Amino acid sequence: WLFAWIRKGISVSDYLGLKRLPAKQLLRWCIGLLLVGALSDGLSALLGRPIVPDVIVESYKTAWSPPLLWFAMVILAPLNEEVFFRGFLFAGLSRSRIGGRGAILLTSLLWSVIHFQYDWFGVATIFVVGLLLGYARLKTSSIIPTILMHSLMNLVATIQVAMLLWYVGESN
């Protein structure tokens, strides 16, 4: 990718989509993500499934340091995954024959596959969230909203786990 940037004269920030956006626009994308999350939680409840996947609960319960887990879940994972999937991969794929829509589909599929620790419902939910993140990337030409949305999604999940464990008396 470095050679492509040098050859094409594209800056790293332009290639990755590190473009600032107005706060109102970022807020709209975050509200959209919260709505998708609420629909997913509602569907989980209707299907009699736990709202918080067991794998997340176990990770939280067995964490050596809950503050480090929060940092990894809310900051590190979203930043790294978004730079890679909606930054590098999306940029390259959207400039290829498959275009922006194909890039949304492929990056969402690949992103959901790396979350193999979840069951089918969790992977499907992650795929749908990936579609929303990809759409945000396509419409804004920026990964800033996708990083914020991903962080928000993980923050909500982490809060849900903490509340669940506090409620059942198993908090760290």
The per-residue pLDDT for range 112-163, each reduced to its tens digit, is 999 999 999 999 999 999 999 999 999 999 999 999 999 999 999 999 999 9
Q: Do residues 17 and 87 touch, judged by C-beta distance below 8 A?
A: yes
The answer to whether position 28 is within a domain reads no
Q: Which residue has the higher pLDDT, 136 or 14?
A: 136
The answer to whether position 151 is within a domain reads yes
Burial per residue of 26-65, b for 16 or more beta-carbon CB atoms within 10 angstroms, e otherwise: beebbeebeebbeebbeebeeeeeeebbeebbebbeeeee
170 confidence band (pLDDT: 50, 70, 90) = low
The answer to whether position 68 is within a domain reads yes
Nearest residue to 143 (alpha-carbon basis) of 118, 113, 111, 96:
111
47 confidence band (pLDDT: 50, 70, 90) = very high
Number of domains in the chain: 1
Nearest residue to 141 (alpha-carbon basis) of 2, 1, 13:
13
165 confidence band (pLDDT: 50, 70, 90) = confident
The answer to whether position 41 is within a domain reads yes
Q: How many CB atoms within 10 Å of residue 148? A: 19
The answer to whether position 4 is within a domain reads no
Q: Which residue has the higher pLDDT, 166 or 143?
A: 143
Mean pLDDT confidence for 90-102: 95
The answer to whether position 103 is within a domain reads yes
Q: Residue 90: give the domain boundaries.
A: 33-168
The answer to whether position 131 is within a domain reads yes
